Structure 1
Amino acid sequence: MKNRKIILAAAFLFFYAQYIYIPFQTTYLTAFGASAAFVGIVTGAYGGAQLVLRLPVGVLADRVGKHKIFLVTGMLLAGAACGVRTLFPDAWGFFFASLLSGVSASTWLSFMVMYSECYGAREQQKASGRIVLSYNSGILAAFITGTLFYEKVGMRTLCVFGIIASVIGVALCSRLCEGKTQKIAPSVPELLKICTNRYLIFFSVLALVQQGIQMATTMSFTTQILKNLGAQESILGLSSIIYMISSVVSSFVASLKWIEKKSSRFWIATIFTGLAAYCFLVPSVGYIPLILLLQLIPGLASGFLFSILTTKAMSEVPAEKKSTAMGFFQAVYAVGMSVFPILTGNIAEIGGMIASYRLMGVFALICVLAAVMLLRNAREG
């Protein structure tokens, strides 16, 4: 019980430090003269570092058999990334800090695995919902902080808040208790075999699209669309807060039993359909209040959908291979976090924002078809 509370609090602080600057990053960098393509690269660097590191970190965690050191390291690196942004508050400083944040985020798998180990096999959906709720709450708190203080204190001070959260997180993680390491850890080739599991692969790819769309639109270029329509900084912050409130509420809902009355096939297809509608509407409606309302949809995907995808991806993974499987899952969706913002930025430079968002919408519709066609029986759906 003690570990559960500490991990949830640490997850909150971890993502507070990681996302304190996000609602204003795109417009901040644009003010420095950065192009949409370069902003996409900065955003994508966060996912790129995770793409490279998450599977090796997962294998290492399974071999070591302990997670506390990874939680502490992740916290320290999150604070260090905020420190880089504070010392070098320009476009290139944010690029290198984004890489460092990605290295930090590669340790997130240990948060999730260590927390899931606090629950039995039949409560894994509940565990996923609660840990996702905690990190979404941290992001929400970060966005509220940014909205309240960005115009008053600026980007550097927001990043100092992130450093403080990281320091508190390190102190909390140092209090975690771990059991004895398993006697014989699986070999690296044996661990890597889990990466061929079809459930793990399929749900990882769906998460790739969900996370990619979220990072390319809601976490990046939607704020620029609002800015182009004349929105003030407070409206940009409100946009992110609406998205995160939706994420927090839907994360809580995902931890409840009643969602099992409908198949995951139903939920996955329905929410990806909503994401497609979001991508087609946001760059074309030209009306700020409606865009703010639409922010509820990616929030639903970030909380509810992501919890389901995580649980389903890990459904056939034995305990001794969970970190490797989680590393694979997170590395795959990091492809979307890295590639989609870069793709969106480059297409926006060439064909405009509407074209880039429509492509994201097409990806979401492909996921709808995949869920409907491939998740046919009760066990899979």
Structure 2
Amino acid sequence: MTDSSLKTQGKRHIILFCLMTGAFWFSQYAYIPQLTKYASQIGASMQTIGLISGAYGLSQVLLRVPLGLYSDYIGKRKIFVLTGVSMTVVSPLLVLLAPSPETLIVARFFSGVAAATWVNITVMFSEYFKSSESTKAIGIINSTNRFGQLTAFIVGGIVVAAFSVRAAFALSVAMGAVALVIAFKLKETGVKDARKATFRFKDILQLYKNRRLVSVSLLGLLSQLITFSTVYSFTPLLATELGAESFHLNLFNILFMLPQILFAALAGTVIRDRFGEKATLSAGFALVTVSCILTPFLNHYVQLFPVMFISGIGNSLSFPLLMGIAIKDVELAYKSSAMGFYQSVYAIGMTIGPILIGMVSGRFGLTAGFMAVGSIGLVALVAIHMPAAGISGKQSPSAKA
């Protein structure tokens, strides 16, 4: 096979992978803007809503490290990708068949199982690129991720307005099936034998002692804690109290996601190269934190539109960059293990964040809940600039060369 045909084959697999990823995240997010409102309508309390949202992160905390380790050990990625995509069909199907607060907890746990395989998805995709291009690969796959979510919010909103919230769950099942069909066509890179030969469990302990991996993972935890406590859990409830309808809830999420399609790809390349990792992360966390603190003081849902857009910019500057940094200098044999560790740690934030704000809001009100989460963003801003974090500043031209 000629070099040009190999290059064409590579592009084809990248395109297929992006299509699968978009459909995967479409399925995961088609009903999300309506989830907490729907849970409340079928009888869930504030605390139960926190558990429903937290269940999504819990399964990821439990599974992401084992999935990464075992994937590296057997030298395969695709089987895990197929398993994860299958769960995007199972999760919403459960809600359709037996809607209840308890079913929502179980369904979101299975949805988290699907999301746990994101570790295998991102690493499999990054292996289509050179090791030095890991942040570029992560930027591309994250942009595809965000595009799938954005499309889900738009189409899901139309479906809910035309039919019902249950129709959004049916749409989720359908798109999960599409993703599964495409996933079967994906190709692994063919380096599994070399990867398996060099994999040693004793080296994993040294990997997990890597200061930068640990610090970046903790920052990812704080980032996801803020996002899943607010945007994907209690901001929709606050918006409803301010008079927002189902259409507005989807529009909020669209505005949150829209800047991420552009900035997710740029944060790990152009913006990072221009301003450095530390400044880029600081700007991202600052925007997210300010948005979080402002939210409970708004007195009309229309004011949430610019706040959600600004929060989306902040998230896109920080989160994809953290993911790229996590595996940037890790050997091929251990990339899934490193990514599994990173994603498992940040999933803790996805779990405890909604539960935390649910407990605080249930006792002291939503304003207190948002302020508690906003204070965590301030902690992250301080942590970025601590030497122990290992986050690099702007490089000089000579250092880049």
TM-score by length of 1: 0.96
Structure 1 residue runs without a partner (length 5+): none
Say whether the 8 Å CA contact 1:109–1:330 is kept in structure 2: yes
Question: In the TM superposition, what is the alpha-carbon distance from 1:375 to its structure 2 partner?
Answer: 7.2
Is 2:125 the partner of 1:112?
A: no
Structure 2 CA distance for aligned equivalents of residues 192 and 72 of structure 1 = 28
SS at match of 1:295: helix
Against the structure 1 CA distance between its residues 38 and 217, is the aligned structure 2 distance closer, same or farther, given a 3 Å change threshold? Answer: same
After superposition, give the CA deviation of every residue in 1:302-326 in whole Å (9 maximum; x if it has no partner). 3231111011122231110000111
Say whether the 8 Å CA contact 1:15–1:139 is kept in structure 2: yes
Q: 1:32 is aligned with what amino acid?
A: I
Is 2:371 the partner of 1:361?
A: no
Is 2:192 the partner of 1:181?
A: yes
Q: 2:192 is aligned with what amino acid?
A: T
Is 2:18 the partner of 1:5?
A: no
- Match of residue 301 from structure 2: 288
Match of 2:35 among 8, 25, 39: 25
Say whether the 8 Å CA contact 1:67–1:114 is kept in structure 2: yes
- Match of residue 69 from structure 1: 79
- Match of residue 177 from structure 2: 167
Question: In the TM superposition, what is the alpha-carbon distance from 1:239 to its structure 2 partner?
Answer: 0.7
Count how many residue pairs are aligned between Structure 1 and Structure 2. Answer: 381
Say whether the 8 Å CA contact 1:218–1:298 is kept in structure 2: no
- Match of residue 269 from structure 1: 282
Against the structure 1 CA distance between its residues 25 and 277, is the aligned structure 2 distance closer, same or farther, given a 3 Å change threshold? Answer: same
Match of 2:320 among 299, 307, 311: 307
- Match of residue 158 from structure 1: 168
Say whether the 8 Å CA contact 1:16–1:138 is kept in structure 2: yes
Question: In the TM superposition, what is the alpha-carbon distance from 1:258 to its structure 2 partner?
Answer: 4.7
Question: In the TM superposition, what is the alpha-carbon distance from 1:204 to its structure 2 partner?
Answer: 0.6
Structure 1 CA distance for aligned equivalents of residues 236 and 344 of structure 2 = 26
Question: In the TM superposition, what is the alpha-carbon distance from 1:255 to its structure 2 partner?
Answer: 5.3
Structure 2 CA distance for aligned equivalents of residues 255 and 330 of structure 1 = 17
Against the structure 1 CA distance between its residues 176 and 338, is the aligned structure 2 distance closer, same or farther, given a 3 Å change threshold? Answer: same
Per mean C-alpha deviation after superposition, the further-off stretch among 307-316 and 211-220 is 307-316
TM-score by length of 2: 0.91
Runs of 4+ aligned structure 1 residues displaced above 3 Å come to: 375-381
- Match of residue 91 from structure 1: 101
- Match of residue 196 from structure 1: 209
Structure 1 CA distance for aligned equivalents of residues 42 and 49 of structure 2 = 11
Match of 2:133 among 108, 123, 128: 123
Say whether the 8 Å CA contact 1:279–1:361 is kept in structure 2: yes
Match of 1:57 among 56, 67, 84: 67
- Match of residue 341 from structure 1: 354
Where do residues 235-274 of structure 1 align in structure 2 (5 Å cutoff)?
A: 235-254=248-267, 256-274=269-287
Against the structure 1 CA distance between its residues 375 and 144, is the aligned structure 2 distance closer, same or farther, given a 3 Å change threshold? Answer: farther
